[in-house]
Amino acid sequence: MSDNWEVIPCANCGVRFGISSDLLRFRMKDGCTIYCPNGHTLNFKGEADKVLNELKKEIKKLTKNLETVEASRDSWEAEAQRLLQNFTDEEFLRTTTKEITKTVKSVWGHLQNE
């Protein structure tokens, strides 16, 4: 334990009181109650819950984004497979370099935007 102290106000009566920095940090993490000198309860649970809810929302958002990217990738892979299956040697020879470059740039641009 450190010898550092924090001065905090009571949310109910406004009295300012000292609490060790380590204990304050610990209570902010575990969300348990502390008491002001006048007996009012101070609870940091709401703060911990707020951070936890924000993290859950961010995880949900990232998971949804990942699913979207994976679905898009699967779609592009399926399209690439379909195009490859449709090419015969004769069709491939007739396809110009310009057309191939345009397709590659289109696919690459789409993948870069995701």
Query: Domain ranges in the chain?
Result: 5-43, 47-113
94 pLDDT higher than 80: no
Mean pLDDT for all residues in the chain: 83
Q: Are 43 and 31 in contact (CB under 8 A)?
A: yes
Residue, of 2 and 87, whose pLDDT is higher: 87
Strand-pairing partners, residue 7, are: 18
Q: What is the mean pLDDT of residues 93-111?
A: 76
Tens of pLDDT, residues 40-53: 998 877 666 777 88
Q: Which residues contact 34 (CB under 8 A, 6 or more apart)?
A: 19, 23, 24, 27, 41, 42, 43
Tens of pLDDT, residues 4-26: 999 999 989 999 999 999 998 88
